[in-house]
Amino acid sequence: MRKLIEPLMKDLNVIFFLFRLAYQISKTYLPIVITSSIVTALMPFLNLVMMKLVIDELTGSRRIEVFMWLVGIVVLGNLVLNVTSRCLKTKVEIKNEELLNGFDAMVGEKIMSLDFQMIEDPKILDLKERALFPIHNQGAMYRVMEYSMTLFSTILTMIGLIAMISMLNPLMILFLFLMAILSAFINKKAQQVMFKFYQLLIPVNRKFSYFGNLTSDFSYGKEIRLYKMDDLIMDRIEDYNHTTLTVFTDLYEVLGRYAAYSEVMMQIQIVFVYLYMVYKVVVKSIGLGDFTMYASAATQFGQCLSQILNTYMELSQMCRYMESYIEFDALKPSVLSGKETDVPMDNLTLEFKNVSFKYPKSEVNVLNNVNVTILPGEKLSIVGLNGAGKTTFIKLLTRLYEPTEGAIYLNGVNILEYDLKEYLALMSVVFQDFKLFAFSVKDNIVFNQVEKDETIIEVLREAGFEKDLANLPKGIETPIYKTFEEDGVEFSGGQSQKIAISRAIYKNSPIVILDEPTSALDPMTEYDIYHRFNELVGAKTTIYISHRLSSCLFCDRIAVFKDGQIVELGTHDDLMKEGGLYQEMYQAQAQYYI
String of DSSP letters for 269-313: HHHHHHHHHHHHHHTTSS-HHHHHHHHHHHHHHHHHHHHHHHHHH
Same domain for 218 and 360, yes or no, is no
| Mean pLDDT confidence for 376-392 | 90
Same domain for 288 and 376, yes or no, is no
pLDDT, mean over the chain: 82
> Phi/psi of residue 127, each to 5°?
-60, -45
* Residue where a domain stops, chosen among 297, 330, 363: 330
Is the confidence at residue 43, as pLDDT, over 70?
A: yes
Same domain for 231 and 321, yes or no, is yes
pTM over 0.75: no
| Mean pLDDT confidence for 59-63 | 71
Same domain for 449 and 420, yes or no, is no
Residue 400: band (very low, low, confident or very high) from pLDDT cuts 50, 70, 90: confident
Same domain for 214 and 121, yes or no, is yes
pLDDT in tens, 106-139: 888 888 777 777 777 778 878 888 888 888 777 8
CATH number of domain containing 564: 3.40.50.300
The 8-class DSSP code of residue 569 comes to E
Q: Could you tell me how far CA 137 lies from the centroid of its own chain?
A: 12
String of DSSP letters for 476-522: GGPBBSSSS-TT-B---HHHHHHHHHHHHHHHT-SEEEEESTTTTS-
Whether 338 maps to a domain, the answer reads no
Residue 405: band (very low, low, confident or very high) from pLDDT cuts 50, 70, 90: very high
H/E element, 582: helix 581-589
pLDDT at 521: 59
pLDDT at 354: 96
The residue ranges of DSSP E strands in 345-450, in sequence order, are 350-357, 367-374, 379-384, 405-410, 413-414, 427-430
Same domain for 188 and 266, yes or no, is yes
Residue 397: band (very low, low, confident or very high) from pLDDT cuts 50, 70, 90: very high
Could you give the percent of the chain with pLDDT greater than 90?
A: 16
In contact, 294 and 277? CB cutoff 8 Å: yes
In contact, 512 and 495? CB cutoff 8 Å: no
Length, in residues, of the chain: 594
Could you give the percent of the chain with pLDDT greater than 70?
A: 89
Whether 38 maps to a domain, the answer reads yes
Q: State how far the Cα of 172 lies from the Cα of 273, in Å rounded to an integer.
A: 8
pLDDT in tens, 411-421: 999 999 998 88
Whether 500 maps to a domain, the answer reads no
Same domain for 30 and 62, yes or no, is yes
Domain holding 484, by residue range, is 437-490
Whether 499 maps to a domain, the answer reads no
Whether 282 maps to a domain, the answer reads yes
Residue 167: band (very low, low, confident or very high) from pLDDT cuts 50, 70, 90: confident
CATH number of domain containing 269: 1.20.1560.10
Q: State how far the Cα of 444 lies from the Cα of 437, in Å rounded to an integer.
A: 6
Strand pairing report for 565-570 and 557-562:
antiparallel
Whether 335 maps to a domain, the answer reads no
Among the listed ranges 20-24, 49-53, 459-463, which one has the minimum average pLDDT value?
A: 49-53
Whether 587 maps to a domain, the answer reads yes
Same domain for 482 and 520, yes or no, is no
Is the confidence at residue 592, as pLDDT, over 60?
A: no
pLDDT at 355: 96
Whether 2 maps to a domain, the answer reads no
Same domain for 314 and 229, yes or no, is yes
pLDDT at 524: 66
CA distances from residue 322 to 4, 193, 196 in whole angstroms, order as listed = 19, 17, 15
pLDDT at 219: 63
H/E element, 541: strand 541-546
The structural domain count of the chain equals 3
Is the confidence at residue 586, as pLDDT, over 80?
A: yes
Is the confidence at residue 74, as pLDDT, over 90?
A: no
Same domain for 287 and 302, yes or no, is yes
Same domain for 135 and 200, yes or no, is yes
pLDDT in tens, 454-487: 888 988 988 888 888 888 888 999 989 888 888 8
Same domain for 534 and 568, yes or no, is yes
